[in-house]
């Protein structure tokens, strides 16, 4: 037996804003909004599917350093350059985490500064 990642929890200042951003990035849907203000998003099939859900949990603590774990995303219906343009239009921004400039991926941050990478490979 092995485990499977079912959820990833992200502490943030504005769960609603981040859930909207990541729903647009991943074509996810809001699955639940909790009494404490947390918002859970995921694929159309919901919790327990092939992809983990993301839970944005409210926190007053500011992000002060580079994340120790981050998400990598891949475009599904366009090339990397077109997807980069789309992500930037959604509110992502380029971020320097020590890359050399020779990488095949783009380092970005979401609206609250959480780092993620856009990889070159296109997934179907």
pLDDT of the residue at 76: 93
Kindly tell me if the per-residue pLDDT of 124 is higher than 80.
Answer: no
> Which contiguous run of DSSP H or E holds residue 24?
helix 15-26
Smallest Cα–Cα separation from 116: which of 4, 8, 3, 2? 8
CATH class of the domain defined by 63-124: alpha beta
Is the four-CA dihedral 102, 67, 33, 124 of positive or negative sign? positive
> Percent of the chain scored above 90 by pLDDT?
78
1: pLDDT strictly greater than 80: no
Residue 9 backbone dihedrals phi, psi, to 5 degrees: -105, 130
What is the DSSP annotation of 54-118? EEEEE--PPP-S--SS-EEE--SSS-HHHHHHHHHHHT-EE--SS--S--SSEEEE-TT--EEEE
| Domain boundaries, given as residue ranges, for the chain | 7-62, 63-124
The pLDDT mean for the chain works out to 93
pLDDT tens track for 52-81? 999 999 999 988 888 888 999 999 999 999
Query: pTM for the complete prediction?
Result: 0.91
The distance of Cα 12 from the centroid of its chain, to the nearest Å, equals: 12
Under CATH, to which class is 7-62 assigned? alpha beta
User: What is the arithmetic mean of pLDDT over 96-107?
Assistant: 92
């Amino acid at each position: 037996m092995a485990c499977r990642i079912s959820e990833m929890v992200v502490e943030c200042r504005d769960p609603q804003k981040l859930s909207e951003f990541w729903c647009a990035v991943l074509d996810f849907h809001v699955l639940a909004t909790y009494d404490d203000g947390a918002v859970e998003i995921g694929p159309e099939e919901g919790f327990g599917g092939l992809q983990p859900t993301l839970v944005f949990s409210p926190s007053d603590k500011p992000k002060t350093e580079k994340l120790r774990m981050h998400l990598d995303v891949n475009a599904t219906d366009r090339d990397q350059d077109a997807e980069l343009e789309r992500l930037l239009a959604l509110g992502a921004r380029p971020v320097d985490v020590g890359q050399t400039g020779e990488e095949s991926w783009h380092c970005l941050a979401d609206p609250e500064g959480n780092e993620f990478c856009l990889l070159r490979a296109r997934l179907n």
